Amino acid sequence: MADEFFTDEHEYIRVEGDVGTVGITAHAQEQLGDVVYVEVPEVGRTVAAGDAAAVVESVKAASEVYAPVAGEIVEVNADLDGNPALVNEDAEGKAWFYKIKISDRAGLAKLMDRAAYNAFVAENS
């Protein structure tokens, strides 16, 4: 089973081995409303933790999607290209944005687990 972590910018990362799958949380999707466009990063791009890595646009706003950890983008979700509304249907499942080969696992310690993230959302809603 994958380890799951969350950022205070409402990204999630599910880690299996040295690769993490990144997307936006269901809470972020609810705040955005109907998603109309997703821009994923290029495979091979190296990002630092906190770098803007992708963009998600809804009828309400455009938002950056930040890298939760440092690493190299190794795969992107091509399904989002023709179907950005998938984010509204399954934000924390089929609508992942990209996979990152983690270069610094210590960065994961700075992220929240599900219980801490849920408390963070409750406190800030």
Q: Per-residue pLDDT for the chain (125 aa), expressed as one digit of tens each?
A: 579 999 999 999 999 999 999 999 999 999 999 999 999 999 999 999 999 999 999 999 999 999 999 999 999 999 999 999 999 999 999 999 999 999 999 999 999 999 999 999 999 98
Going from the C-alpha of 42 to that of each of 46, 47, 109, the distances in angstroms are 9, 11, 26
**Contact indicator for 25, 117 with CB cutoff of 8 Å:** yes
Q: What is the pLDDT of residue 1?
A: 59
Q: What is the pLDDT of residue 125?
A: 81
The dihedral built from the CA positions of residue 46, 25, 124 and 3, taken in this order, carries a sign that is: negative
For domain 3-119, the CATH architecture is Beta Barrel (2.40)
> What residues pair up with 62 in beta bridges, in sequence order?
57
